[in-house]
Amino acid sequence: MRTHRIALIPGDGIGAEVLPAATAVLHAAGRRHGFTLAYDSFDWSCERYLREGAMMPADGLERIRHHDAILLGAVGWPGVPDHVSLWGLLIPIRRTFRQYVNLRPITVLDGVPGPLRTATADVDLVVVRENVEGEYSEIGGRLNRGFPEEMAVQESVFTRAGVTRVVDYAFDLAARRRGVLTSATKSNGIIHTMPFWDEIVAERARLGVTWSQEHIDALAAKLVLHPERFDVIVASNLFGDILSDLAAAVAGGIGVAPAANLNPEREFPSMFEPVHGSAPDIAGTGVANPVGAIWSAAMMLDHLGHPEAGDEVRAAFRAVLAGTAIRTPDLGGRATTGEFTREVVQRLE
Ligand code: NAI
Ligand code: MG
């Protein structure tokens, strides 16, 4: 029987509540499809930061480098600045392991009402977010702190190699889907990096994929008005971050949105995590929606070479949402995380 070694990082808040849901579903999928998952769990979190002064140990990345994948809950907690938790854990993992594609599928699920008046039944899109460079850079600094002329400068970094590989990934994905790619830009206002991005998108375009570019502000509006028109959206780190939360909200809520941080060359482990954060407002009450984490786990199965198992997991939680009233309070139900998860597991058994 094939065994996959998985590094589990529950993190903070509801991260520790949704990961057990994901592993329960993975276990059921593995029994059906003849594979097992062996977990090593790591307590890297804000709690650890407050106790030991670091989100993870100095050799943390070395300890998970040889795992087949990483499954993460959420990191961030009041009392620890968000840039500390993000740059102390998530961003080092994404960058050191060259996880340059952040993949965020967005689908309207039957039984999950969206916030819009317009019918959004046909929404099925994927945001491909550049995940290791762009606007989120360490280059810059602050000067004259405390004086009237205090200032902050932050440089965006776009490299030909970095843009090309993520754009190629997005065109490939579009070719395997409905063949439509939209590139998020802002080359009217950001006059160096964004025209560079646009040029590379145009160079990498390929036959069989219809593509266009949209300024990010107009694209945000169109995503709300006509989300069903989009297939694959490729975007820089910042634009992709914002667009994918927006699109997830349009499709029915942040609690159901999954994400994969991929190293497509498989030189390093890829990481799978729900889009949502640690939700301090509901943490500890047992009602976190596990769908984002379960769906992320299904993406991990795709990546590990079990796409039929991934499809079954997706079909299982979709069936619960479409065919029963069992759902967590964020979707208008009364189920706990555990009750919803048991329904999904039962459908797999
Ligand atoms: P959040 O996603 O944690 O919560 C936003 C709202 O959505 C809250 O009202 C929360 O209760 C609700 N929510 C989120 N996930 C839910 C789920 N699975 N089920 C039911 N309701 C859910 O975002 P927020 O409040 O801005 O951030 C809280 C902390 O999480 C911060 O420290 C932030 O930095 C961190 N964060 C971490 C992320 C990650 O680990 N990738 C992503 C986003 C935020
Ligand atoms: Mg985000």
Instruction: Indicate the top mutation candidate among 278, 281, 295 to test ligand 1's pocket, ranked by most ligand atoms within 8 A of CB.
Output: 278
Q: Is 86 exposed, middle or buried (0-12, 13-18, 19+ CB in 10 A)?
A: middle
Q: Can you tell me the distance from the alpha carbon of 20 to that of 36, in angstroms, rounded to the nearest whole number?
A: 16
45-50 long-range contacts (CB < 8 A, ≥24 apart) are 45/10, 45/11, 45/12, 45/15, 45/75, 45/77, 45/89, 46/11, 46/12, 46/75, 46/76, 46/77, 46/79, 46/80, 46/85, 47/12, 47/77, 49/80, 49/84, 49/85, 49/88, 50/79, 50/80
DSSP state of 77: B
Task: Report the 10 Å Cβ neighbour count for 61.
Answer: 16
CA 60 – ligand 1 centroid, Å: 24
DSSP state of 285: S
Whether residue 232 lies inside any domain: the answer is yes
Residues 247 and 267 grouped into a single domain: no
Ordered mean pLDDT values, 10 residues apiece, the chain (349 residues): 95 98 98 96 97 96 98 96 93 96 92 73 91 95 97 97 98 97 97 98 96 98 92 98 90 92 98 96 98 98 97 97 96 97 96
Look at residues 251, 276, 308 and tell me which one is the last residue of a structural domain. Answer: 251
Residues 246 and 133 grouped into a single domain: yes
Look at residues 251, 286, 318 and tell me which one is the last residue of a structural domain. Answer: 251
Residues 174 and 266 grouped into a single domain: no
Tokens 């593509």 found at:
211
Active site residue 217: yes
Residues 273 and 293 grouped into a single domain: yes
Ligand nearest to the CA of 327: 1
Beta pairing partners, 182: 212, 233
Residues 20 and 64 grouped into a single domain: yes
Q: For the chain, what is the domain count?
A: 2
Q: Can you tell me the distance from the alpha carbon of 282 to that of 288, in angstroms, rounded to the nearest whole number?
A: 7
- Is any ligand 1 atom within 6 A of the Cβ of residue 279? yes
Say what the pLDDT of residue 117 is: 65
Expressed as residue numbers, the domain containing 157 is 114-251
Residues 225 and 277 grouped into a single domain: no
Residues 262 and 238 grouped into a single domain: no
Residues 226 and 144 grouped into a single domain: yes
Whether residue 107 lies inside any domain: the answer is no
CA 241 – ligand 2 centroid, Å: 5
Atom of ligand 1 nearest to the CA of 289: 19
Q: Which of 49, 186, 231, 302 is catalytic?
A: 186
Residues 291 and 169 grouped into a single domain: no
What is the average pLDDT score of the chain?
Answer: 95
Q: Can you tell me the distance from the alpha carbon of 126 to that of 225, in angstroms, rounded to the nearest whole number?
A: 17
Whether residue 109 lies inside any domain: the answer is no
Whether residue 273 lies inside any domain: the answer is yes
- Is any ligand 1 atom within 6 A of the Cβ of residue 271? no
Which CATH number characterizes residue 123's domain?
A: 3.40.718.10
Write out pLDDT tens, residues 166-208.
999 999 999 999 999 999 999 999 999 999 999 999 999 999 9
Whether residue 108 lies inside any domain: the answer is no
Look at residues 251, 270, 297 and tell me which one is the last residue of a structural domain. Answer: 251
Residues 296 and 240 grouped into a single domain: no
Q: Can you tell me the distance from the alpha carbon of 267 to that of 313, in angstroms, rounded to the nearest whole number?
A: 27
Whether residue 54 lies inside any domain: the answer is yes
Q: Which of 124, 168, 245, 311 is catalytic?
A: 245
Could you tell me if residue 335 is left (phi over 0), alpha (psi between -120 and 50 degrees) or otherwise beta?
Answer: beta
Whether residue 105 lies inside any domain: the answer is no
Active site residue 40: no
Residues 127 and 237 grouped into a single domain: yes
- Is any ligand 1 atom within 6 A of the Cβ of residue 103? no
Say what the pLDDT of residue 152 is: 97
Residues 121 and 247 grouped into a single domain: yes
CA 61 – ligand 2 centroid, Å: 22
Whether residue 35 lies inside any domain: the answer is yes
Q: Which of 12, 68, 241, 330 is catalytic?
A: 241
CA 103 – ligand 1 centroid, Å: 18
